A and B are shown apart, each in its own frame.
Chain A
Amino acid sequence: MALSVKHLLGIKELNAQDIEQIFQTADNFKQVLQRPIKKVPTLRDTTVANIFFENSTRTRLSFELAEKRLGADVVNFSASGSSVSKGETLIDTVNNILAMKVDMVVMRHSASGAPWFLAQHIDASIVNAGDGTNEHPTQALLDAYSMREQLGNLKGKRVAILGDIMHSRVALSNIYCLNKLGAEVVVSGPPTLIPKHIESLGVKVEYNVKKALEWCDVANVLRIQLERQHKPLFSTLREYALYYGVNKQMLDSLEKDIVIMHPGPINRGVEINSDVADSKQSIILNQVENGVAIRMAVIYLLSGKRDMNE
């Protein structure tokens, strides 16, 4: 058994069986992470390069911990302070890193599709850690994995994705992933932040956040991606918080206790209030914990393919 893909570029290319296999493997790694010795020697002969052309706290730390706990050697690269600012191209940068005998590349890039482009030019396995406004596959996997922990099998479960759907790679990867697992998805937010024709991805649109919350079992609240919005799409953050932010009063008015998720970083008081983010219904920190196990599973399952391609 192995994944049907050589790289993890997007959830779009995975099948339900791949996702199930990643979850099953992550279960085992989660168990390893609870032991006194949180490390296995599986990839002690593997070197992984984390190449980040965009800022990151969680994802980068999470990948680095996952790699180290699999016994791999890790090199980190960030675009700021590198030769990228001297005009080196993406392929040259990566090929130089690979010339130092690196076996796998974890990459975040601000250009959508960058990992696909890279995959055509290098032999090493690539894990997409976020590309522009396109996909963030490991986030979607850890989100679905965390939902499954709370709700059991996701088939028929209702998931609302709230906020900046237009600029969020988390939203797109989540939609692909949840669809493949049989969950129902509703996206909600200001009309200017919801792409036209998003229904073609198999989701429903509900502009009223309260109604979306009433409908769902779990709400995944997303950050406003101000850095990707090149023209004003809503008037003020205060107005956004007023009409689209999730607060405790809103949650308490619902008939059932829904699960609250957020991929981070949180903008407290904008898309989510502190009394929600820190409430018992919030599993934001469980998501972070599961992230390491999911990334260990992805790296482990992709690493076995090395010899088959040589």
Chain B
Amino acid sequence: MKTLLSSTHMNITLQRLAHQLVENHLSFADTVLIGIQPRGIYLSDRIARLVKKISGNNNINYGLLDITFYRDDVHTTNIQVPSHTDISFSIEDKNVILIDDVLYTGRTIRSAMDALIDFGRPKKVELLTLIDRRFSRELPVQPDYVGYSVDTILTQKVKVYWDEKDGKDEVVLIEKNTEIK
């Protein structure tokens, strides 16, 4: 097991990502944040909080998107019980920032884009991710905002720990074969 981001490092990275968002979207008048359920919402909660603080706009639209019904592996994996979707605003003609913790094959993001389009036609969709596992994409998906890039192989797994859920902030690289079965 190797630590990719320590707690201090992770918080500096989150600060940078939030600043980059504000740099590009200023007051967030036409921009909304959407976290992908279930794993992306810890990151999106943090980012939403930081962006509100930095931009001074407390009324930023922030929603959660569940992609269970849009997955392409319904018949190959065990059936998943969905988490809830909460998008209480219009995304029509808005800039949407999709937020997920780890970008790997790109399939989740493909599903998320399909799910998103069912809520309206956004002007632009961008992707923010804490960890980008490079060279492992199965679909042509690239992030616009990256916390940390890492080169991994198939047998490795990236695990993100969140203070709210796990009692600590940390990102680690795990050798799948030896440590998890």
A87 close to B (CB within 8 Å): no
Q: In whole angstroms, what is the CA distance A39 to B68 when docked?
A: 13
Within 8 A of B (CB), among A20-73: 21, 24-25, 27-28, 31-32, 35, 37, 39-43, 45, 70
| Interface 9-residue window, one of B1-9, B46-54, B80-88, B151-159 | B80-88
A255 close to B (CB within 8 Å): no
Q: Which of A21, A28, A301 contacts B85 (CB 8 A)?
A: A28
CB of A27 within 8 A of CB of B84, answer: yes
Q: A35-B118, A42-B74 are in contact. Are A28 and B79 (CB under 8 A)?
A: no
List the B side residues contacting A99 at CB < 8 Å. Answer: none
A1 close to B (CB within 8 Å): yes
A201 close to B (CB within 8 Å): no
| Interface 9-residue window, one of A78-86, A146-154, A162-170, A302-310 | A302-310
CB of A1 within 8 A of CB of B82, answer: no
List the B side residues contacting A28 at CB < 8 Å. Answer: 66, 68-69, 82, 84-85
Given A37-B118, A304-B80: 12 more A-B contacts, CB < 8 Å: A1-B79, A1-B80, A2-B79, A27-B84, A28-B84, A32-B69, A40-B69, A45-B75, A70-B69, A300-B69, A305-B79, A306-B75
Q: In whole angstroms, what is the CA distance A31 to B82 when docked?
A: 12
B177 close to A (CB within 8 Å): no
Digitize A3-26: 1 where CB-to-B-CB distance is under 8 Å, 0 elsewhere. 100000000000000000100110
Digitize B73-113: 1 where CB-to-A-CB distance is under 8 Å, 0 elsewhere. 01111111110110000000000000000000000000000
CB of A304 within 8 A of CB of B79, answer: yes
A interface residues (Cβ-Cβ under 8 A, vs B): 1-3, 21, 24-25, 27-28, 31-32, 35, 37, 39-43, 45, 70, 300-301, 303-307
CB of A304 within 8 A of CB of B75, answer: yes
Q: In whole angstroms, what is the CA distance A2 to B74 when docked?
A: 12
Q: In whole angstroms, what is the CA distance A234 to B68 when docked?
A: 52
B70 close to A (CB within 8 Å): yes
Q: Which of B70, B75, B81, B119 contacts A40 (CB 8 A)?
A: B70
B114 close to A (CB within 8 Å): yes
CB of A303 within 8 A of CB of B118, answer: no
Q: A1-B80, A25-B82, A41-B69 are in contact. Are A35 and B119 (CB under 8 A)?
A: yes
Q: In whole angstroms, what is the CA distance A300 to B68 when docked?
A: 11
Q: In whole angstroms, what is the CA distance A307 to B78 when docked?
A: 9
CB of B81 within 8 A of CB of A304, answer: no
CB of A301 within 8 A of CB of B79, answer: yes
14 intermolecular pairs with C-beta atoms under 8 Å apart: A1-B78, A1-B80, A24-B81, A28-B82, A28-B85, A31-B84, A32-B69, A39-B118, A40-B118, A42-B68, A42-B69, A303-B79, A305-B79, A307-B76
List the A side residues contacting B81 at CB < 8 Å. Answer: 1, 21, 24-25, 301
CB of A31 within 8 A of CB of B75, answer: no
Q: In whole angstroms, what is the CA distance A1 to B80 when docked?
A: 6
List the A side residues contacting B70 at CB < 8 Å. Answer: 40-42
Q: Which of B75, B82, B84, B114 contacts A41 (CB 8 A)?
A: B114
Q: In whole angstroms, what is the CA distance A305 to B71 when docked?
A: 15
The residue in chain A whose Cβ has the minimal distance to the Cβ of B111 is A41
Give the 3 A-B CB pairs with smallest separation, nearest first.
A304-B79, A40-B69, A42-B69
The residue in chain A whose Cβ has the minimal distance to the Cβ of B82 is A28
B149 to chain A, nearest CB (A): 32
List the A side residues contacting B82 at CB < 8 Å. Answer: 24-25, 28
Q: A37-B118, A40-B70, A41-B70 are in contact. Are A31 and B78 (CB under 8 A)?
A: no
The residue in chain B whose Cβ has the minimal distance to the Cβ of A28 is B82
CB of A307 within 8 A of CB of B75, answer: yes
A168 to chain B, nearest CB (A): 31
List the B side residues contacting A39 at CB < 8 Å. Answer: 118
Q: In whole angstroms, what is the CA distance A39 to B118 when docked?
A: 9
Q: Which of A24, A27, A40, A300 contacts B79 (CB 8 A)?
A: A300
